[in-house]
A and B are shown apart, each in its own frame.
Chain A
Amino acid sequence: MLARPVPCTWKPAWKLAWDLAPIRGAQGPDFCEREWAAHMQDDVLMRRVRAGDHDAFAALYDRHAALVYGIARRMLSDSSQAEDVAQSVFLQIWVRPELYHGGNLAAWLARVARNACIDILRSSTVRLREPELPLEVEDDASVDEEVFAGLRAEAVTAALENLPPEQRSAIEQAYFAGLSYREVAERSGAPLGTVKSRIRIGLKRLWETLREKVPS
């Protein structure tokens, strides 16, 4: 049972800009708002972020930065650019929290980070961008919840490794390199229909495996 939160002692905003001690460490009472924030659910944190709560934002960053940074680093293969993407994603959330409409926040953040990386990857190619995802489908988060509740990184890695190599490779090229299935086919030398089928079946197996591993 968590103790009731009490206010932290804050420094003026201008001091915080180059003295981050109040964000990093304990200031004021033993159990202040920022420790409390670390135990909140994502939707509660997001409500507080909307209200301008810096502790909630810091807790949100601590919880999801490795996810956002990790996908950017994997996709861009550049730690500096990955930091830039992660910084931009989190600052956009701070400024425009209303863009998150609910559902699994981690899944949403993963999509935002990946979309940003794809735009960067595609900026040097001639490939036409896809239009934005259809909103009526984008807003349906029920399936995300089914998979993401209790999801662990090891489970995903294991599920991915259990796929046949050609399915795993096709999915990884499409997802992490931002390639279209046609581009995947060109690179692998496989027929278009085969690549489409590999990606679809691989994703289906992945989803089924992860669903089994998630405790109901």
Chain B
Amino acid sequence: MIRGHDESMLELAALRAIGALEHDEAELIDRHLADCDECQAEYARSRAAGAALAFSTTTPPPPELRDRVLSRAVRITRVRPWYQQTAWRFAAAAAVVVVAVGSWFATHEQQPEQRWAAHCTAPVAADCGDLVASGGVLRLDARGLETPPAGKVYQAWVIHPKQEPIPEPTFSVDSSGAGSVEIAAAPTKGDIVAVTIEPTGGSKQPTSKPLLVATIE
């Protein structure tokens, strides 16, 4: 334990607690904190005071946010007990938000990449891309698709065995027929990811037959 140092270390401990230091000083105080009870106490008090500030901003969110969050949670299937869960992230929010939130959680284990073939239904079983689970995100990388007619888009679906398709985001393809879409579901053996053509804005239930199918094996 270190005692009797000057006030500057206590100041750094307080500033560190609310993230107000730059990199070098943060590293300096982190090393010091490990051995100094006085600074640890300063850090803990300042962190609690800082976190309490969040309470002054309490604002009820729009009711539709509740619907979105809970419906997304319902759609997520946990395939393993929680203590074996790996990092699954979501494409639900804007990419920068997902990166920001995910980075905080990303100090733990990483999910190894998994890949399954995606096939077009016409011609039958033609190679039309890959379904990839990587970095906590399930993503369909489609290729060989035609540009959809005006007013139409491609839409992905997740189909659990013997259940109705779950709507996923719509997406477009480039001039080469390639397009990607992120899917907010954990990959579960036996699930199918399909793609249909839907009106712009997407549908709640498919209105056409699948053009592309990938089975998680």
The answer, among A70, A87, A110, A140, for a CB contact under 8 Å with B51, is A110
Rounded to whole Å, the gap between the CB of A88 and the closest CB of chain B is: 4
Q: Across the interface, do B102 and A92 meet the contact criterion of CB distance under 8 Å?
A: yes
Q: Across the interface, do B73 and A199 meet the contact criterion of CB distance under 8 Å?
A: no
Stretch at the interface among B54-62, B143-151, B170-178, B208-216: B54-62
A residues within 8 A CB of B90?
88, 91-92, 95
Q: Across the interface, do A20 and B70 meet the contact criterion of CB distance under 8 Å?
A: yes
Scoring A17, A113, A123 by chain B CB atoms within 10 A of each residue's CB, the highest score goes to A17
Q: B53 at the A/B interface (Cβ < 8 Å)?
A: yes
Q: Across the interface, do B44 and A96 meet the contact criterion of CB distance under 8 Å?
A: no
A residues within 8 A CB of B166?
14, 17
Q: Across the interface, do A210 and B52 meet the contact criterion of CB distance under 8 Å?
A: yes
Bound complex: CA A139 to CA B134 (Å): 29
Stretch at the interface among A1-9, A25-33, A178-186: A178-186
Interface of B is mostly: helix
Q: How many A-B residue pairs have CB under 8 A?
A: 284
B residues within 8 A CB of A174?
15, 18-20
Q: A85 at the A/B interface (Cβ < 8 Å)?
A: yes
Q: Across the interface, do B53 and A176 meet the contact criterion of CB distance under 8 Å?
A: yes
The answer, among A89, A91, A130, for a CB contact under 8 Å with B72, is A91
Stretch at the interface among B23-31, B120-128, B191-199: B23-31
Of chain A, the residue at the smallest CB distance from B30 is A134
Q: Across the interface, do A85 and B163 meet the contact criterion of CB distance under 8 Å?
A: no
Rounded to whole Å, the gap between the CB of B54 and the closest CB of chain A is: 4
Of chain B, the residue at the smallest CB distance from A49 is B82
Bound complex: CA A83 to CA B74 (Å): 18
Of chain B, the residue at the smallest CB distance from A65 is B61
Query: Known: A20-B70, A61-B66, A160-B53. Contact between A130 and B26, CB under 8 A?
Result: yes
The answer, among A51, A106, A171, for a CB contact under 8 Å with B53, is A171
Q: B167 at the A/B interface (Cβ < 8 Å)?
A: yes
Of chain B, the residue at the smallest CB distance from A75 is B57
Bound complex: CA A88 to CA B98 (Å): 7
B residues within 8 A CB of A151?
52, 55
Rounded to whole Å, the gap between the CB of B119 and the closest CB of chain A is: 24
Name the interface residues of A165-189: CB closer than 8 Å to any CB of B: 171-172, 174-176, 178-182, 184
Bound complex: CA A197 to CA B46 (Å): 13
Name the interface residues of A90-140: CB closer than 8 Å to any CB of B: 90-92, 94-99, 106-107, 110-120, 123, 127-134, 136-137, 140
Q: Across the interface, do B44 and A143 meet the contact criterion of CB distance under 8 Å?
A: yes
The answer, among B55, B97, B164, for a CB contact under 8 Å with A116, is B97
Bound complex: CA A140 to CA B108 (Å): 19
Encode contact with B along A28-68: 1 for CB under 8 Å, 0 otherwise: 00000000000000000000001110100110011001110
The answer, among B23, B72, B164, B186, for a CB contact under 8 Å with A87, is B72
Task: Pick 20 A–B contacts, CB within 8 A, sort by A.
Answer: A14-B160, A14-B166, A17-B74, A17-B75, A51-B82, A58-B70, A66-B60, A67-B55, A70-B59, A73-B57, A74-B57, A91-B184, A94-B76, A95-B90, A98-B83, A116-B97, A140-B40, A153-B55, A156-B56, A203-B49
What 4 new A-B contacts, CB under 8 Å, besides A50-B82, A112-B104, A114-B19? A116-B97, A143-B48, A199-B11, A210-B49
